[in-house]
């Protein structure tokens, strides 16, 4: 275990590297991103880090505290896109191409943010995206996230590589949690993972379909070099050893698998899955109208417009740009969710107006987790709920259902 002085030296090297890095000009590293008020750079450069969640003004206030607390390699893994990170940047920049159209003289003294998803009512339209290995950012990991989700009444998805079991996540959430599936190349592994989640009480399986190849995570690879900790205990070339801290894989034989990617997945897999589980099936990673129509044709219950937060491919196209064609393609026949790049209540309002049934956040709650644990996650989600409510009120919208595409225009 590194000493305090060694940990401080690691953080200092990381911050020195970041200060000279082009990452700071990326919206993924928002110290100088598009969300920072352009008139206050000097003040913000000299502002102290927040010392407790209550001091945060927006979700970005948690990011530098996360950087301070979390080891460099874990920071890099969380923050990375792939290749040139064009998609990562586009996810943020694209929101500036759309504006909301405020409507006046509507009584918005009472706003109902609730949404109905698969006959379950949630008090707000913001869901917790599946992110793996949360104990890399805080010892309480996904359990802390689940408790914060309970506080705010959020739908939550738990990732296959979570460091907390589905049983423990459901207990912490106090309600069912959806299961996000990384299928792997072997049907028997996918089947075992899904059946375990179903036995634990998960009602929905979210099949991720965009992890079909390796990825060049340049930010992660560069920051990993600045991390001098001994990591072999958690990271191994042997698949069975590499998932030792991930409860979903306990007792599942991974022998013979070259990797855990699902390059061989096809629509036949979805049909087979339908016959293997009573869970509802949602496909995550849809980015075209063509594939959205295939989701409908193949009888899935919903889809997630997602580019994995810029970690799946580097096409350079943001999910908010994709959303209209997907909504038009499905014609209301199945659930449409969206994630990737959402940081503001106005971002969420734009997606709801464009036809999304709910909106997912990932990195922001991880910033909160790494900064202050459960309290940090809860505050991040509270800020997003507050901003979304304000955006609804400014649009003259009293319920999420009142949002229509008429509330959004493209610049």
Look at the chain and report how many structural domains it folds into: 1
pLDDT at residue 218, as a whole number = 83
Asked whether residue 83 is assigned to any structural domain, the reply reads no
User: Is 398 contained in some domain?
Assistant: yes
Residue 330 lies in a domain: yes
Listed in sequence order, the residues at least 6 apart from 107 whose beta carbon sits closer than 8 Å to its beta carbon are 398
Note the pTM of the prediction, 2 decimals: 0.89
Give the model's pLDDT for residue 333: 98
Q: Does residue 74 carry a catalytic annotation?
A: no
Catalytic pick among 10, 138, 154, 308: 308
Nearest-Å Rg of the Cα atoms of the chain is: 21
* β-sheet with 178-181: strand ranges across: 126-128, 358-361, 335-338, 302-305, 280-286, 204-208, 178-181, 157-159
How many residues are listed for the chain in this entry?
411
Q: Does 297 fall in a domain?
A: yes
Residue 370 resides in a domain: yes
Q: How far apart are CA 24 and CA 64, in angstroms?
A: 12
The answer to whether residue 171 sits within a structural domain is: yes
CATH (domain of 366): 3.20.20.70
In whole angstroms, what is the distance from residue 45 CA to residue 37 CA?
12
Beta strands 126-128; 302-305: pairing state = unpaired
User: What ranges make up the beta strands (E) of 27-114?
Assistant: 98-100
C-alpha closest to that of 345 among 305, 309, 394: 394
Residues 6 or more apart whose CB falls under 8 angstroms from that of 232 comprise: none
pLDDT of residue 12: 53
Residue 156 counted as domain residue: yes
Phi/psi class of residue 118: alpha, beta or left (left: φ > 0; alpha: ψ in -120 to 50)?
A: left
Domain membership flag for residue 325: yes
What range does the domain containing 307 cover? 99-215+251-410
User: Strands 408-410 and 98-100: what pairing?
Assistant: antiparallel
Tens digit of pLDDT per residue, the chain (411 long)? 444 445 445 555 555 555 544 455 444 444 434 566 555 566 666 779 999 999 999 999 999 999 999 998 899 889 989 999 999 999 999 999 999 999 999 999 999 999 999 999 999 999 999 999 999 999 999 999 999 999 999 999 999 999 999 999 999 999 999 999 999 999 999 999 999 999 999 999 999 999 888 788 888 778 777 777 666 656 677 788 888 889 999 999 998 888 888 899 999 999 999 999 999 999 999 999 999 999 999 999 999 999 999 998 999 999 999 999 999 999 999 999 999 999 999 999 999 999 999 999 999 999 999 999 999 999 999 999 999 999 999 999 999 999 999 999 999
């Amino acid at each position: 275990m590194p000493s305090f002085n060694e940990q401080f030296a690691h953080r200092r090297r990381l911050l020195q590297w970041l200060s000279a890095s082009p990452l700071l000009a990326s919206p993924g590293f928002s110290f100088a991103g598009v969300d920072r008020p352009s008139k206050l750079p000097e003040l913000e450069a000299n502002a102290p880090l927040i010392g407790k969640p209550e001091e945060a003004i927006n979700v970005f206030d948690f990011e530098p505290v996360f950087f301070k607390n979390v080891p460099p390699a874990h920071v890099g893994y969380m923050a990375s896109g792939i290749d040139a990170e064009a998609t990562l940047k586009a996810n943020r920049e694209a929101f500036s191409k759309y504006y909301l159209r405020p409507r006046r003289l509507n009584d918005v003294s009472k706003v109902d943010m609730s949404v109905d998803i698969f006959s379950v009512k949630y008090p707000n339209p913001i869901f917790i995206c599946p992110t793996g290995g949360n104990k890399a950012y805080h010892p309480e990991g996904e359990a802390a996230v689940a408790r914060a989700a309970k506080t705010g009444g959020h739908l939550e998805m738990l990732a296959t590589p979570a460091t907390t079991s589905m049983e423990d996540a459901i207990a912490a959430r106090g309600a069912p949690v959806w299961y996000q599936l990384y299928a792997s190349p072997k049907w028997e592994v996918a089947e075992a993972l899904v059946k375990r989640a179903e036995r634990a009480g998960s009602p929905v399986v979210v099949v991720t379909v965009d992890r079909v190849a390796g990825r060049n995570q340049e930010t992660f690879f560069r920051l990993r070099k600045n991390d001098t900790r001994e990591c072999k205990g958690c990271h191994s070339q042997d698949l069975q050893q590499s998932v030792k801290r991930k409860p979903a894989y306990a007792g599942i034989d991974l022998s013979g698998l070259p990797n855990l990617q699902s390059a061989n997945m096809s629509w036949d897999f979805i049909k087979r899955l339908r016959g293997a589980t009573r869970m509802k099936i949602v496909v995550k990673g849809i980015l075209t109208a063509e594939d959205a129509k295939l989701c409908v044709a193949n009888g899935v219950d919903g889809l997630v417009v997602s580019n994995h937060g810029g970690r799946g491919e580097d096409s350079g196209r943001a999910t908010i740009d994709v959303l209209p064609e997907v909504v038009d393609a499905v014609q209301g026949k199945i659930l449409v969710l969206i994630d990737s790049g959402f940081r503001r209540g106005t971002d969420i309002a734009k997606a709801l107006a464009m036809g999304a049934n709910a909106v997912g956040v990932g990195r922001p709650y991880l910033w909160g987790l790494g900064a202050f644990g459960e309290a940090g996650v809860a505050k991040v989600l509270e800020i997003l709920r507050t901003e979304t409510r304000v955006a609804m009120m400014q649009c003259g919208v009293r319920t999420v259902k009142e949002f229509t595409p008429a509330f959004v225009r493209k610049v």
